[in-house]
C-alpha cells in the first residue's frame, strides 16, 4: 500500500468516525448533548461538524470510491440537518414553539 493510499484511508475513516460521533451526539437520546442546555456539548458539535465536513470533502476530492466520504459528510452534517428539521417541524405545526 502506498503512502498516498494509506493517508487517504486515514482521512476517509477518521471522517466517518467523526460523522458517527456527530450523529450520535445529535440524534440518539442517550448520548444527546446538543441543544439541551449544555454549552460544552454544543461546542463539541460546533467543532466536530466542520472538521468532519472538511475531511469528508478532502476525501471526496481525492478518492475514486466515494461511498464512505458521502456517508461521512451526511453524518457530519447531522447538526445542521437537525436544525433544518426542527425549523420545518415548527413551521408546519408538528412541533410546539413554546411550552
Q: What is the pLDDT of residues 30-89, one digit of tens each?
A: 888 888 888 888 899 999 999 999 999 999 999 888 999 999 999 999 999 999 999 999
Cell of 32: 444527546
Q: How far is CA 90 from CA 8, 15, 63, 84, 86, in A?
A: 41, 31, 39, 10, 6
Please, where are the H alpha helices in 1-99? 3-27, 39-62, 67-76, 78-92
Give me the pLDDT at residue 78, please.
94
Amino acid at each position: 500500500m502506498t503512502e498516498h493510499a494509506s493517508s487517504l484511508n486515514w482521512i476517509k475513516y477518521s471522517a466517518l468516525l467523526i460523522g458517527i460521533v456527530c450523529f450520535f451526539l445529535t440524534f440518539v437520546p442517550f448520548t444527546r448533548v446538543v441543544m439541551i442546555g449544555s454549552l460544552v456539548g454544543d461546542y463539541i458539535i460546533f467543532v466536530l461538524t466542520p472538521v468532519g465536513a472538511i475531511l469528508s470533502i478532502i476525501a471526496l476530492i481525492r478518492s475514486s470510491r466515494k461511498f464512505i466520504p458521502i456517508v461521512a459528510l451526511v453524518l457530519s452534517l447531522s447538526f445542521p440537518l437537525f436544525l433544518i428539521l426542527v425549523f420545518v417541524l415548527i413551521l408546519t405545526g408538528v412541533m410546539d414553539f413554546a411550552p
